[in-house]
């Protein structure tokens, strides 16, 4: 590439999205690309001309190592959806104008479903208007719901955090006996796909009995069956721990969290803001059984806990960024880098570039065959899939007792 | 010691309470004490004759290393308060009967204020009735509210978890700009003492601007001042993050969480079950300012996250257990091991044995001089005190991608 490149981050942050930026930057350095720009707050900031120079921001190899250990979007994120082209040609022209101004040949965008739509729209516009600029998608989402790719960078680290925290919560809850029997309901992110909640299944092992039930949004939530499960388990065990997705819905289509609060807020993409499912279910349990309950929400910790990131995940996040630059150097555009699993044991994974049209706006949920018959747990198929993704650790760089992060200047 | 010893755990678990059991066990092995018994579920289980043999439970040095990395009460905990002696002599006699049966010379009890009361009552009873058995307290509480001792094992690890998680939450919340401005209120444990909430102050450093306000239960909470602080900060910063203790009270003495829910449950010690302070404050902010809000509760994670424990804390927890056995070997009884700081920089800390009567049921709160004038932050005095306590890490033993724990057989 003779010109420069730009990389942006979009959508909800993850523990390893910065590792993808590090991968883009490292590949550009290797190829001798002149300038690597960063979009400050994604395409929304880019449209305002808000760019930074990654040589200044990252600098040397120590900067890359710190960046890999920095949670959330180092460059700043956005939730900006490109408008439909018709009637908004000026917005599209603005993107190309800024790219020309900074001699940017290729734009790399790290994100999930909504962000891949931005890559699709921009590459479609370029094709329709004979523009030479290229657009590449770099997958990122803790939700793990992008199609085609075996899994998404960000998921493994979130799953590792969830499974570790579930183990710790279970130990805590087991410390008291039947005299202080407590039902814990853990609420986990995932609006439509249960991938994150499924990770609760990974807690089980020879030192952990595992959670008592896992409720995914892939199955209709039945409040009565949930209550039966709690009562039945509480007869046998002093500690009851249940994982539930924030996105579970009852038969009439309403979210469980809506049963507690009818005025659920809506975000810029029209998505409802979830929260309160565990608290609501706990209140039901307490009322019906008199048992002590505790609702736990991992909240943003599950997507920001880089101190416990999976090394596999960090490396793959880096790789998809790196390989996106190699693909663009090859002349590719309108594609996303996918992770292609070649083996489970030992785990092996390669990458390829795939047409963005098959990916943007498509949501992949947990396969039916991995959910048990009673719809309240996962089977070995899921474990075989997910276990390799949480393997390995990258020791944080501790300064003054806390993990050190890289800060944008 | 010619006879055997027993060790028990009591009250809320911590990330390092098992390190104290490891310390008791290691010291006993060093002194050639015959049998080390564990109480299953503290004095409550002991009264039922529920004991285990730590040689069988821990075994070798690998067992000790795993135990140090195991969260919550390995032996099982309880919240059992010894009754007043008069009229309950049979309960006291039962303790001595079981000690005699197992030839137990000394009982070690790891716990906080309420648990130290058990040590006091039993040693007082022994003294009054010329019983030879000895009773030693081993300090443990994330609340850090025991007097005399410089700090309490369990606090450093909870503080490290809180400060790390606050940093990660702040990074996450900073990823979006003013377009998606969000006010995060983080609720932290601590009924009467603000030590845990104060740990939010440790997040600040050259890579983190620190939280915008910290509200401790040591100061009366003023809802209007809180709201002014939020509004004022939101004018200048896209991300507003505030730490608040679950135990903050308004001027009329009611807990803030009671304002949301008048029917707050009460535990076996007569303590109100706190929860919902952050959610309530978020609802107020959303209503009054229209800003997007997010309530985060660390819940039991702050006391169970051994994967991120402070090495200083683990070592000190081990040391107080170890030194309690040495003190008992010396003939001491009715005492608790204290941590005595000899220097801040470099940090140095020794131990001594202190009369339990000065400790049991006394609560130490955050000193006035460490709280700022506006009552919404901590000053350097606190940092100087707390920073050394979060230093160092003990790498978890990862198996299948997750920290491995020791399980009671």
- Give the model confidence (pLDDT) of B222-239 as tens digits: 999 999 999 999 999 999
- Who contacts B197 (Cβ-Cβ below 8 Å, separation ≥6)? B188, B190, B214, B215, B216, B217, B243, B244, B245
Kindly list the residues from chain B whose CB atom is less than 8 angstroms away from the CB atom of residue A292: 265
Tokens 């006035």 sit at which residue? Answer: B368
Pair of tokens at residue B260: 């949301």
Phi-psi region of B364 (alpha: psi -120 to 50; beta: other; left: phi over 0): beta
Q: What local confidence, expressed as pLDDT, does residue B355 receive?
A: 98
Q: Give yes or no for residue B260 having a pLDDT over 90.
A: no
CATH 3.40.50.450 domain range(s) in chain B: 4-154+306-362+392-403
Tokens 């829910």 sit at which residue? Answer: B261
Pair of tokens at residue B251: 């001027």
- Who contacts B115 (Cβ-Cβ below 8 Å, separation ≥6)? B10, B11, B42, B109, B137, B140
Helices (H), A136-276: 155-174, 195-198, 223-236, 256-260
∠ at Cα A328 (A323, A330), nearest 5°? 95
pTM to 2 decimal places: 0.96
Pair of tokens at residue B150: 């410089």
DSSP string computed for B35-47: -EEEETTHHHHHH
What letters, b where the CB count within 10 A reaches 16 and e where it falls short, cover B88-105? eeeebeebbebbeebebb
Q: What local confidence, expressed as pLDDT, does residue B259 receive?
A: 84
Per-residue pLDDT tens digits for A293-328: 999 999 999 999 999 999 999 999 999 999 999 999
Q: What local confidence, expressed as pLDDT, does residue B265 receive?
A: 53
Confidence of residue B269 (pLDDT cuts 50, 70, 90): low
Confidence of residue B288 (pLDDT cuts 50, 70, 90): very high
Pair of tokens at residue A356: 């963005």
The CA distance from B347 to A218, in Å, is: 53
Question: Could you say which of B71, B163, B169 has the minimum Cβ distance to residue A168?
Answer: B71
CATH 3.40.50.460 domain range(s) in chain B: 156-304
Pair of tokens at residue A394: 């990258």
Note whether B69 and B257 are within 8 A (CB).
no
Query: Which residue numbers of B are catalytic?
Result: 143
Q: A4-154+306-362+392-403: which CATH topology?
A: Rossmann fold (3.40.50)
Q: Is B254 on the interface with A (CB under 8 A)?
A: no
Per-residue pLDDT tens digits for B156-199: 999 999 999 999 999 999 999 888 999 999 999 998 999 999 99
B301–A168 CB contact, under 8 Å: yes
Write down the mean pLDDT value for chain A: 95
Please give the torsion angle defined by the CA atoms of residues A142, A148, A149 and A155, in that order, rounded to the nearest 10 degrees.
Answer: 20
Confidence of residue B261 (pLDDT cuts 50, 70, 90): low
Identify the burial level of A6 via C-beta atoms within 10 angstroms of its C-beta, where 0-12 means exposed, 13-18 middle and 19 or more buried: buried
Tokens 């310390």 sit at which residue? Answer: B23
- Whether A143 sits among the annotated catalytic residues: the reply is yes
What letters, b where the CB count within 10 A reaches 16 and e where it falls short, cover B26-63? bbbbeeebebbbbbbbbbbbbbeebbbebbebbeeeeb
Q: What local confidence, expressed as pLDDT, does residue A34 receive?
A: 96
Strand A239-245 versus strand B36-39 pairing type: unpaired
Residue range A81-94: mean pLDDT, rounded: 96
Note whether B27 and B147 are within 8 A (CB).
no
> What are the Cα distances from residue A202, in Å, to A16, A105, A281, B157?
20, 43, 23, 25
For A:189-248, CB contacts with B below 8 A are 202-203, 205, 207-208
Residue range A334-356: mean pLDDT, rounded: 97
Residue range B287-297: mean pLDDT, rounded: 94
Strand A104-111 versus strand A4-9 pairing type: parallel
Q: What local confidence, expressed as pLDDT, does residue B361 receive?
A: 87
Q: Give yes or no for residue B396 having a pLDDT over 70.
A: yes
Q: Give yes or no for residue A259 having a pLDDT over 90.
A: no
Q: Give yes or no for residue B320 having a pLDDT over 70.
A: yes
Pair of tokens at residue B291: 């800003």
Q: Which residues pair with B353 in a beta bridge?
A: B337
At the top level of CATH, the class of A155-303 is: alpha beta
B175–A305 CB contact, under 8 Å: no
Q: Give yes or no for residue A399 having a pLDDT over 70.
A: yes
B69, B164, B60: which is closest to B399 by C-alpha?
B69
- Who contacts B106 (Cβ-Cβ below 8 Å, separation ≥6)? B1, B5, B6, B133, B134, B135, B136, B325, B328, B333
Q: B156-304: which CATH topology?
A: Rossmann fold (3.40.50)
A207, A180, A184, A241: which is closest to B74 by C-alpha?
A207
A154, A140, A196, A246: which is closest to A366 by C-alpha?
A196
Q: Give yes or no for residue B278 having a pLDDT over 70.
A: yes
- Who contacts B343 (Cβ-Cβ below 8 Å, separation ≥6)? none
The CA distance from A59 to A16, in Å, is: 19
Kindly list the residues from chain B whose CB atom is less than 8 angstroms away from the CB atom of residue A76: 174-177
Determine which of B142, B154, B172, B409 to mutate to test the interface with A (most A C-beta atoms within 10 Å). B172
The CA distance from A132 to A159, in Å, is: 40
Strand B36-39 versus strand B51-53 pairing type: antiparallel
Q: Give yes or no for residue A65 having a pLDDT over 60.
A: yes
Q: What local confidence, expressed as pLDDT, does residue A179 receive?
A: 84
Among chain A residues, the shortest Cα distance to B306 is held by A168
Q: Is A391 on the interface with B (CB under 8 A)?
A: yes
> What is the share, in percent, of chain A residues with pLDDT greater than 70?
96
Note whether A287 and A260 are within 8 A (CB).
no
Q: Which residues pair with B51 in a beta bridge?
A: B39
Q: What local confidence, expressed as pLDDT, does residue A272 receive?
A: 56
Residue range B297-313: mean pLDDT, rounded: 97
Determine which of B47, B290, B401 to mutate to test the interface with A (most A C-beta atoms within 10 Å). B401
Confidence of residue A260 (pLDDT cuts 50, 70, 90): confident
Instruction: Provide the number of CB pairs (under 8 Å) joining chain A to chain B.
Output: 186
- Who contacts A280 (Cβ-Cβ below 8 Å, separation ≥6)? A256, A257, A259, A260
């Amino acid at each position: 590439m003779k010109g420069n490149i730009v990389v942006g981050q979009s959508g909800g942050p993850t523990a390893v999205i910065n590792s993808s930026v590090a991968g883009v930057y490292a590949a550009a350095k290797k190829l001798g690309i002149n300038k690597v720009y960063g979009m400050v707050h994604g395409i929304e900031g880019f449209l305002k001309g808000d760019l930074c120079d990654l040589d200044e921001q990252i600098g040397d190899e120590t900067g890359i190592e710190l960046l890999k250990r920095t949670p959330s979007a180092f460059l700043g994120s956005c939730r900006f959806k490109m408008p439909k082209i018709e009637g908004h040609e000026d917005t599209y022209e603005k993107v190309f104008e800024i790219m020309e101004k900074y001699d940017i040949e290729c734009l790399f965008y790290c994100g999930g479903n909504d962000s891949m739509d931005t890559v699709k729209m921009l590459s479609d516009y370029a094709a329709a208007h004979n523009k030479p600029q290229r657009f590449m998608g770099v997958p990122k989402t803790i939700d793990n719901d992008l199609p085609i790719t075996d899994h998404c960078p960000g998921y493994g680290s979130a799953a590792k955090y969830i499974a570790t925290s579930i183990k710790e919560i279970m130990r805590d809850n087991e410390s008291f006996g039947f005299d202080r029997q407590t039902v814990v309901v853990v609420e986990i992110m995932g609006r439509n796909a249960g991938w994150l909640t499924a990770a609760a299944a990974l807690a089980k092992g020879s030192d952990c009995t595992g959670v008592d039930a896992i409720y995914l949004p892939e199955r209709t939530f039945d409040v009565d069956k949930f209550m039966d499960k709690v009562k039945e388990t509480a007869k046998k065990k002093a500690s009851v721990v249940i994982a539930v997705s924030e996105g579970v819905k009852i038969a009439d289509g309403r979210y469980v969290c809506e049963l507690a609060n009818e005025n659920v807020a809506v975000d810029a993409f029209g998505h409802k803001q979830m929260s309160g499912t565990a608290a609501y279910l706990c209140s039901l349990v307490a009322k019906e059984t008199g048992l002590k309950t505790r609702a736990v929400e991992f909240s943003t910790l599950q997507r920001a806990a880089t101190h416990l990131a999976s090394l596999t995940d960090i490396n793959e996040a880096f790789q998809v960024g790196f390989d996106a630059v190699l693909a663009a150097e090859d002349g590719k555009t309108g594609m996303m880098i996918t992770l292609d699993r070649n083996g489970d044991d030992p785990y092996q994974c390669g990458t390829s570039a795939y047409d963005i049209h098959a990916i943007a706006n498509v949501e992949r949920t947990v396969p039916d065959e991995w959910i048990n018959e009673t719809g309240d747990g996962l089977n070995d198929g899921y474990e075989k899939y997910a276990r390799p993704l949480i393997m390995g650790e990258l020791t944080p760089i501790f300064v003054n007792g806390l993990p050190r992060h890289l800060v944008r200047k």
